[in-house]
């Protein structure tokens, strides 16, 4: 799946699932788009259908492709697991907590509820929050019992 309309989706696709893992093909997109056009022109008389098909392409094709790409990426990434996932190898959960929150952010982006800038900022905040949770704080270090030194004698 080649994405040109949305640089953020192109970046996500390249780094999260790679083009080789995308289960949606360009041929499938074209067939679905042809079906959408045929459905649209079906309401008009035969002599108007060619003109109406061109009209549909001019008005709807770009947005149709953009929405299709967003949905295809979301479907593909919902099945993926991060390579460094702490749950790798476990079958009890589909995604770790971080991935689940990230997928939620992605869904908001795909639904046009947040901008690409907001998506990127929120994703970085999410990662920073989890990184900070994993840090060993000075208080934790003091609470850990001291390891007794072994006397070599």
Tens of pLDDT, residue by residue over 100-113, are 888 888 889 888 89
Helix or strand holding residue 140 (H, E): helix 138-143
* Among 26-30, 60-64, 86-90, 102-106, the least confident range: 86-90
Max distance between CA atoms of the chain, in angstroms, equals 102
Token pair, residue 31, equals 């067939």
Tell whether pTM > 0.85.
Answer: no
| CA 9/CA 105 separation, integer angstroms | 13
Tens of pLDDT, residue by residue over 44-54, are 999 999 999 99
Does the pLDDT of residue 19 top 50, yes or no?
A: no
**C-alpha to C-alpha distances, 131 to 75, 86, 109, 127, nearest whole angstrom:** 27, 13, 23, 6
């Amino acid at each position: 799946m080649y994405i040109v309309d949305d640089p953020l989706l192109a970046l996500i696709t390249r780094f999260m699932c790679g083009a080789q893992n995308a289960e949606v093909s360009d041929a499938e997109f074209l067939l679905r788009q042809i079906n959408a056009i045929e459905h649209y022109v079906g309401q008009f008389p035969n002599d108007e259908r060619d003109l109406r098909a061109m009209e549909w392409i001019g008005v709807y094709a770009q947005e149709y492709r953009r929405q299709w790409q967003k949905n295809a990426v979301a479907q593909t990434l919902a099945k993926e697991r991060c390579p460094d996932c702490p749950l790798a190898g476990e079958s009890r959960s589909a995604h770790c907590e971080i991935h689940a929150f990230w997928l939620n952010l992605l869904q908001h982006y795909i639904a046009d509820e947040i901008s690409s800038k907001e998506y990127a900022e929120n994703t970085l905040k999410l990662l920073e929050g989890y990184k900070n949770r994993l840090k060993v704080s000075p208080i934790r270090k003091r609470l850990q019992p001291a390891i007794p030194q072994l006397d070599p004698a």
